[in-house]
Structure 1
Amino acid sequence: MIQWLQPSKSPQAAKYIECYWFIEKPPETQSYEFPKLNPDPSAHLIISPINQTYDYSTDSGIARGRGSHWLFPHHQTLQLDHSKPFLHLGVKFHIGAIYSLDMSNYSHPMLDAVEEIDLSSLLNSPEFSGPTLLEIGQNDQNLCCAQLDDLLLPWLAKCKEDQHSELTRKALQLLDCTPISELGNLLYCSQRTLERSFRRVTGLTLKQCQAMNKLEAMLEFLYQRSASDIDWVEVAFQFGFSDQPHLIRHLKKQIGLTPKTYAKERGLTIDVYGGVKSS
């Protein structure tokens, strides 16, 4: 299994892009075939071989297609079909960044959606070569990231900021360390104004986004510990839950599993492919 994660080296690109990531499952590699992807408030642009299929399943349906695609922010846990070899090069955007992008076919908000794309048309780059970029990603992550910066910067230069995106960016900087009820005062606006701007930009409420961020941090914490080493009372306290039953309800709602069941199954993508860190 080949995998890496790197931040953008361009300050202009990094304003909108959180990181680039790469993952490959070569033939004959044995791994969990149907991992689950936890809810995510960020959008991902996923570059894949043109004939490679993708499959995202939820309780309400299945999104299937081929090749490169958008994975938009999603409230639900998605089950992936990774039973066959695959290759993905991803661009993870900051929360709310797609609001500022010049996407002619985008109608905000698009949540819990997957959409096939023609990257050459999207980026207005007839010379774009997905296979070449994927091959570089397999062999040289630094060169791959540099080429992604060069490829995306002309597109990102078209981004437009307004008072809603600026207020949302400030709120996101405080969201994980500040009670939601205090954000309006800290940002010198009414709570209603903040909520409306935040939802306009991200498609999510402040509470939904905060819950997803908390879940992501908790899953990273749990990934580093074996089931026998996890003290759920301690976990509940560390991640701001009022008690253990509150934590149980949260996990059940977010990923459909109780803490003990999750610790036993470990079927999320972080468990299957590891906590990929930038290098």
Structure 2
Amino acid sequence: MIQDTFHFYKPCQTLQPYIRYYWVFKSDQILNTFTFPIGCPQIIFHKKTPLLIPELGIWQDTLTISGQVNFSSHIYANGHTEMIVVVFQSHTLNLFLNIPTISFYNQEVSGFDIENKSLIELSKRILDCEDNNLCIQYIERWLLSQASTMRMGTEYKFQRINEPLAQILKTPQVSVNELSSMACLSRKQFEREFKTFVGMGPKEYTHIVRLQKALSFLQHQKSTGINHAQIALASGYADQSHYIREFKKHCGYTPRSLLEMTSPYSDLFTHPV
């Protein structure tokens, strides 16, 4: 019997500004896992049976681009799972696919549908390879080759999003006007560029960051003793009522009811490698 196994891999130094990490998961167990919007797009390679997303009513493809989402979902696996996942920084997917990240908003898109020949060839190499360490090397080579062809104009626009995005991660209650001023763009221009790189509007993205911050505090609540009023303040909500209302909107549960159902985990504010 194959035990459930997770392996995390750190990207090479050149790719660290663009890639958060890679992870590999193997399981022969039937899984029904509750997941939250994590704030980072992903490319997923399924070497066995893909995952079912009941909220969307679809199975992921063997090569799937998972965009930014604003809802939580139940992920189902039938007991034959082996997947390799590339977790991008919040605003970097567009640089490697040359497609606005907003194109994948709230979607699980087949990588075979975007007509990226090199990505499809990469997928075939991974599906034919039994050594997942070697698969990670294949992925890194592909990412590095894509990075080497980044257009100067695109890279410049990407850099303008860095400071506003860092500010959101630090203080998600920041206003869009303040963020656009940081980027030296009008609000309309900033919102357009933000959607291109991040995959959703800046105001909506602050909601996801607030949720992930709250999940991080809930994840460590037993060790810190922080209460819900303190979590609301520290996560950037106006007050505890705002915290509970927005949390339930994105999770379907209040913070207390979620704690009764599962152990919260923040993908965005946890660094496994």
Q: TM-score range by the shorter chain?
A: 0.7 to 0.9
TM alignment of 1:1-279, pairs within 5 A:
1-11=4-14, 13-25=15-27, 27=28, 29=29, 33-49=31-47, 51-58=48-55, 61-102=56-97, 108-118=102-112, 121-123=117-119, 125=121, 128-131=124-127, 133=129, 135-137=130-132, 140=133, 145-160=136-151, 161-162=153-154, 164-178=157-171, 179-180=174-175, 181-226=177-222, 229=225, 231-266=227-262, 270=265, 277-279=271-273
Contact kept, 8 Å, 1:42 with 1:93, in 2: the verdict is: yes
CA gap 1:202/1:5 in 2 versus in 1, 3 angstroms: same
CA gap 1:9/1:210 in 2 versus in 1, 3 angstroms: same
CA distances 1:76-131 after superposition (whole Å, capped 9, x unpaired) = 21221034231111001122323233458x78522111122359934364795224
* SS of 1:100 mapped into structure 2: helix
The runs of 5 or more residues in structure 1 that have no matched partner are none
Contact kept, 8 Å, 1:72 with 1:111, in 2: the verdict is: yes
Q: TM-score, normalised by structure 2?
A: 0.80
Mapped partners of 1:45, 1:183: distance in 2: 28
Q: TM-score, normalised by structure 1?
A: 0.79
1:176 positional shift: 2.2
The residue type paired with residue 46 of structure 1 is I
The runs of 5 or more residues in structure 2 that have no matched partner are none
Contact kept, 8 Å, 1:37 with 1:77, in 2: the verdict is: yes
* SS of 2:167 mapped into structure 1: helix
Deviates more, 1:204-213 or 1:119-128: 119-128
Mapped partners of 1:230, 1:206: distance in 2: 28
CA distances 1:21-47 after superposition (whole Å, capped 9, x unpaired) = 12222x3x47xx321221133221111
Mapped partners of 2:224, 2:180: distance in 1: 42
Contact kept, 8 Å, 2:214 with 2:232, in 1: the verdict is: no
Specify which structure has the bigger relative contact order, considering alpha-carbon pairs within 8 angstroms and separated by 6 or more residues: 1
* SS of 1:257 mapped into structure 2: coil
Contact kept, 8 Å, 1:99 with 1:108, in 2: the verdict is: no
Mapped partners of 1:154, 1:35: distance in 2: 35
Mapped partners of 2:7, 2:270: distance in 1: 6
Give the number of aligned pairs. Answer: 262
CA distances 1:249-272 after superposition (whole Å, capped 9, x unpaired) = 11111111111110100176x49x
The residue type paired with residue 17 of structure 2 is K
* SS of 2:103 mapped into structure 1: coil
CA gap 1:264/1:69 in 2 versus in 1, 3 angstroms: same
1:10 positional shift: 3.7
Deviates more, 1:107-116 or 1:233-242: 107-116
The residue type paired with residue 50 of structure 2 is T
* SS of 2:32 mapped into structure 1: coil
Mapped partners of 1:151, 1:90: distance in 2: 14
